[in-house]
Structure 1
Amino acid sequence: MEPVLLAAVVLFAGAYAFINGFHDVSNSVATSVRTRALTPTVAVVLASVFNLTGALLSTALALVLADRFIQLPAGTPGLGILIAGLLAACGWGLWTWWRRMPSSSTHALVGGIVGSGAASTLVGGPNIAESYQVLLQQIVLPLLLSPVIAFVLAYLLVFPTTWLMRYSSPRRGDAGNRIAQSVFTSAFSLGHGMQDGQRTMAVIVLALVAAGFSGTTGIPLWVQIFSGVALAAGSLFGGWRISRTLGSRLVRIDPLRGMSATAVSSSMLFLGAVWLQIPLSSTQTMTSAIVGAGANQRFSTVRFIPLREILVTWLVTAPVTALLGGILFLAISPLL
């Protein structure tokens, strides 16, 4: 039974990565397309290529997540927890995409696994209680703090950027900001691949460990390629439903503020993946940076009704996916 469940985890992990790319490509391209820094086709292709490159570039974060993220029980119970958590995260990703709401795939995955782990104790199975403190310190706190930091940094970055452009004509300044924004858009996609691609790798490695096929000393090459290709494919076929929310509904964005938002969010993703080795939500980072940069105008253009809807979505993501993960684990528990 374990090989079948392991294959199911790999399949659902690939689906999670595909939906992640499908859902989050809007984060990469929304502002650059809105400010006409890139055409939609070029933006999506760049996002897909750099997502794949980022996933193949590093495995440091994946190793940290697989080693510290969760103490998964061995055998079929552990695989069942992963299956239920992945299914909950995939379902939430599709639902929020349909509702045009940017939401955190990381929050959804963490919530789903925590909920399925809690449900495991209800049926007398092993629990993951010892992992909850690590989840809080290493996962939840960075995800909660990163939107605030991104908002503040993007808001502040507008001041020096405006000062540097004070002698440039509006046309020349916009042209320069569009070029810089194109570069930062590629960098953001690279950071997204390093962050979200390695999350999928960590899940597959946890499944391999639970099934007794591998340790956490390294990421198999096939896992790295599989995760990167699934994420890039999702980005290539990504839906545009969320792009309008980020590019038009939240704030009125211009090339200078679009460049500021992508500069801050791409820098934070790199910092989290390479130096701090903590997971950051690309959705929350980019959305908060867009709002922060857009709020720094003579007359604030922030539209609070869609912003409130997004904040509510962020707050309920983990609880809802935890509930879904628990229900799904109880549903499949007779097979474990």
Structure 2
Amino acid sequence: MVTGQSFMMFVVLLFTCAFAFLNGFRDASNSIAVAVRNRALTPNYAVLVAAFFTFLGTMLSTSFGVYLISAVELNVPSGVPGLALLLSALLAGGAWALYCWWRGLPVSSTHSLVSALAGAGGASALLGDDGVHDAWRMLAGGVLLPLLFTPVFAFVVSYVLVIPATWLVRHSTASDVSGASRAGQSISACAVALGNGLQDGQRTGAMLTLALVTAGAAQPGTIMLGPQLLGASALAAGVLFGGWRIAHTLAYRLVNLDPLRGMVAQSVSAAMLFLGAMLIHLPISTTQAVTSSIVGAGTNQRFESVTWRQVKRVLRHWVATPVVCSLLGGILSLAIHPLVS
């Protein structure tokens, strides 16, 4: 016999997979947009490669223990109240991510989800439940700190690395530089997809595991292969469908990049994702790392190649993400509470 708690658990698992699919659908452009624009990869091959390496990165992420649960000390109430809180966060974060995809805006799915969790947890606490322990700490460590660190670091490092890169090829012909840069960009695109799996994939597995723990179907602190495999499959499936709206923004609306600068930008993005996942255990946004690296590398050119009006538009939505998702998560939590209490 299926109980109300079991039903809620299956609903949360379903919506977590849907969020992972949407995450992959939106973030497919992060690793392949510039590579496709510079003809380093064909669109169909690029999507297949990105899906494979995203899946691989998600499965490898369990080796580094960078689960969202341990990273931000996320603890939710047990039973139906906790599952309702997770569902509210998934609906809020997914709605904002879907809206921004429709507008062609690259925003962080991770920041959307963590902000919505914090908002839903705050609303749950107001209603007398346990809520999310250290919700504000989670918001600060999982969203606000990376929001300040990632764009600035990616922009500066990409801008600076263009200088030695152009100096090294100063005596080469334009065709030789473009050919070598496209080859390097193909490799760096795969690296970004792998880093995306390490970062976003492990958080999908964490949410699936957390739903099972909240429902009492798993023990806290366990790393389960099943949820990780399910999350990896959902994320990779989303990548296969490829959300080209955001790819068009990254490759055509923000910056006009040559292959050399595109290779620099993607290499910096991949390095940041690897370091964040394996060394400093910081949830780095793939979207923000890639976008900021592209703008940084594109700024270091003799001619004006950056459309700053579009960049400012993207930045406004990055800043709005924690505010909107926190409020939306709290409102949905308050709305769902009477239905499950």
TM range (shorter): over 0.9
Q: For 2:133 and 2:215, locate their aligned partners in 1 and report how far apart those are by CA, in whole Å.
A: 20
- CA 1:165–1:171 in 2, change beyond 3 Å: closer, same or farther? same
Q: What are the superposed Cα offsets for residues 7-46 of structure 1, whole Å, 9 maximum, x if unpaired?
A: 1111111011000000011111110011111111111111
Q: Distance in 2 between matches of 1:196 and 1:202?
A: 10
1:235 equivalenced with 2:239 (yes/no): yes
Counterpart residue number, 2:301: 297
Q: Deviations over 1:260-307 (max 9, x none)?
A: 000000110011111112211000000000000000011232111111
Give, in whole Å, the separation in 2 of the partners of 1:135 and 1:322. Answer: 9
Q: Tell me, in whole angstroms, the C-alpha distance in 2 between the residues paired with 1:213 and 1:314.
A: 36
Pairing 1:147-226 to 2, within 5 Å after superposition:
147-226=151-230
1:318 to partner: Cα distance: 1.2
Name the aligned partner's letter for residue 23 of structure 1.
Answer: R
Quick one: percent identity of the two aligned structures? 48
Alignment pair present for 1:38 and 2:41: yes
Shift of 1:62: 5.6
1:249 aligns with 2:253: yes
- Of 28, 32, 37, 1:29 maps to 32
2:16 corresponds in structure 1 to: 13
The match for 2:119 among 115, 126, 131 is 115
Deviates more, 1:305-314 or 1:270-279: 270-279
Which sits farther off after the overlay, 35-44 or 119-128?
Answer: 119-128
User: Structure 2 CA distance, aligned partners of 1:117 and 1:131?
Assistant: 7
Q: CA 1:143 to 1:216, structure 2 compared with 1: closer, same or farther past 3 Å? A: farther
Per the alignment, residue 84 of structure 2 pairs with 80
Name the CA distance, whole Å, in 2 between partners of 1:290 and 1:260: 8
- One-letter identity of the residue aligned with 1:15: A
Q: Are 1:283 and 2:287 counterparts?
A: yes
- Residue range with higher mean Cα deviation, 211-220 or 252-261: 211-220
CA contact (8 A) 1:63 1:217 kept: no
Q: 1:79 to 1:63 in 2, by over 3 A?
A: farther
Secondary structure (helix, strand or coil) at the match of 2:279 reads helix
In the TM superposition, residue 208 of structure 1 has moved relative to its aligned partner by: 1.7
User: CA shift at 1:123, angstroms?
Assistant: 2.3
Shift of 1:319: 0.9
Q: In structure 1, what is the Cα distance between the partners aligned to 2:281 and 2:66?
A: 10
Query: Tell me, what secondary structure is at the counterpart of 2:242?
Result: coil
1:329 correspondence with 2:330: no
Quick one: distance in 1 between partners of 2:270 and 2:89? 28
**Structure 1: segments with no counterpart, 5+ residues:** none
Q: How many residues align?
A: 336
SS of 1:124's partner is: coil
1:59 is paired with a residue whose SS is helix
Residue 218 of structure 1 and its aligned partner are, at CA, apart by 3.0
> How far has the Cα of 1:98 moved from its partner?
0.5
- For the 8 Å contact 2:71–2:282, the answer to whether it is kept is no
Distance 1:63 1:248, change over 3 A: closer
Give 1:126 shift. 1.9
Structure 2 CA distance for aligned equivalents of residues 205 and 330 of structure 1 = 24
Q: Distance in 2 between matches of 1:25 and 1:137?
A: 25
Query: Quick one: which of 262, 269, 291 aligns to 2:266?
Result: 262
CA deviation string 1:72-99 (max 9, x = no partner): 1212111111100011111111111100
Q: Distance in 1 between matches of 2:132 and 2:59?
A: 30
How many angstroms apart in 2 are the aligned matches of 1:290 and 1:308? Answer: 14
Structure 1 239/65 Cα, relative in aligned 2: closer, same or farther at 3 Å? closer
Corresponding residue to 1:65 among 63, 68, 79: 68
Is contact 2:66-2:278 (8 Å) kept? Answer: no
* Larger mean Cα displacement after TM superposition, 152-161 or 118-127: 118-127
What is the TM-score normalised by the length of structure 2?
0.95
Contact kept? 2:299, 2:306, Cα under 8 Å: yes
Could you tell me how far 1:205 is from its partner in structure 2? 1.6
Q: Which amino acid aligns with 2:106?
A: P
SS of aligned partner of 2:205: helix
Which digits, 9 at most, give the CA deviation of each residue in 1:242-270, with x for residues without a partner? Answer: 11110011111000110000000011001
SS at 1:140's partner residue?
Answer: helix
1:2 aligned partner: 5
User: Where does the alignment leave 5 or more consecutive residues of structure 2 unmatched?
Assistant: none
Query: In structure 2, how many angstroms separate the alpha carbons of the residues matched to 1:137 and 1:310?
Result: 22
Cα distance change of structure 1 residues 331 and 98 upon mapping to structure 2, 3 Å threshold: same
Letter of the 1:246 partner, please give it. L
TM-score (norm 1): 0.96
